Structure 1
């Protein structure tokens, strides 16, 4: 059982959000800032980060490639966060298997998995201070029995993110580091580049309009819902926190 502190007051809990420039990552960064946390927003594109920082005084922008092996160590050393949330990833090439090349098929392995690997590794090596939280935002595709047949290696990469999150959780426990490591798997949503690509591709494959496809999905996960759910997750007692969750429009759901 973890002895980490319950982070009900986030005002002194520096939070790094990797992939904060758009979509769910932007919603998560905004929610933590509104909850009082000092937020370090990391992304490769300067303009949306600057806009985000201008809108919220407690957000510090960091323009960096989170997949670079040196970036995680540098930012963890400089900011000494107690919360790290990994949302960043590449937009998959939306085509069926036979229309992929190995380069397009493997893009999420070389980006999403690489980011999770570097940041989880550094969180353990640094290590983050006892009571810290690391949340890896994977994808609902990781637990979909059919994967994601129009997005190349995306589902497999997201499943690997889920697996290595579990590996990091076990290593934290074995070493007595008291770092709570959680995987979160959002359902498909059009509120982000990856989701928009998916909606467009799967609607076309099914002979539907995007509106028809979205209607079939039902209530949609928004950046605001994602942000609120992760703030609640980080504030929760780690002793009651599940290792992984599905994230839907209704918030965090326990996996069956």
Structure 2
């Protein structure tokens, strides 16, 4: 996919990994709209990068349908999500355990439905951010890992529906396979695990191999969108050592 002048919507694109992706998309000449709640962060992104912005809650069903219908993006990237509550299974309330189900999964549910019901044009791409925790679990982050795994199956179901209806829309889950410091979620998780092990967060994340700062993450997502070999893969892993790899669902 040539991204020049393509309409791209990125949720959670005002900071962290999402902002790194927005920077990469702008360099490709895409027309980017960033959706997030924090107006201050949105204004900063608009001023620095010249992107369009919308302040909205990603779990607002009406907002999801309105934004998809108004913009009709060529590419939708669902990057926003909640920071998990840190704690072992016996330390969390149900509300704390389920926060990522009530945010990440709920948001994907509404935005996927908006894409399929509108529907977007043939050739459109929808990428949803998952996590390496979906592969092996993460016992200190409550329901985070299971919610991120659920996104893989939702991606599969959305593709099956799109194929059955001949919509020509491709859904993909993107899986950062390491924690990235300086992104909020990565900081809290790495800090908790590092503290339990008696090491620094930097030492903990180094166990995952080469770092993948937000802009490198953005460049990897660009390669997913541009390279034909990734066009039909449903789940794709990203890390600092190997770049983009296909994960079997």
Fold shared by both chains (TM-score > 0.5): yes
* Whole-angstrom distance in 2 between the partners of 1:211 and 1:235: 32
For the aligned residue pairs, the C-alpha RMSD in angstroms reads: 1.4
2:47 aligns with: 54
1:116 aligns with: 108
> Is it true that 1:216 corresponds to 2:207 in the alignment?
yes
* Whole-angstrom distance in 2 between the partners of 1:40 and 1:142: 28
Cα distance, 1:238 vs structure 2: 7.3
TM-score by length of 2: 0.95
Quick one: structure 1 residues 211 and 51, their matched pair in 2 at CA, closer, same or farther if it must change by over 3 Å?
A: same
* Whole-angstrom distance in 2 between the partners of 1:41 and 1:239: 24
In the comparison of the two structures, how many residue pairs are matched?
246
> Is it true that 1:127 corresponds to 2:132 in the alignment?
no
* Whole-angstrom distance in 2 between the partners of 1:13 and 1:117: 24
1:4 aligns with: none
Residue of structure 2 aligned with 1:162, choices 131, 152, 157: 152
1:189 aligns with: 180
Cα distance, 1:212 vs structure 2: 2.1
* Whole-angstrom distance in 2 between the partners of 1:215 and 1:227: 20
1:1-60 CA distance string (max 9 Å, x none): xxxxxx22x222100001111111111111111110000000010111110110112x10
TM-score by length of 1: 0.92
Quick one: structure 1 residues 50 and 239, their matched pair in 2 at CA, closer, same or farther if it must change by over 3 Å?
A: closer
1:14 aligns with: 7
Identify the range of structure 1 (207-216 vs 131-140) with the bigger mean alpha-carbon deviation: 207-216
Aligned-partner SS, 2:5: coil
Residue segments in structure 1 that go unaligned for 5+ positions in a row: 1-6
Residue segments in structure 2 that go unaligned for 5+ positions in a row: none
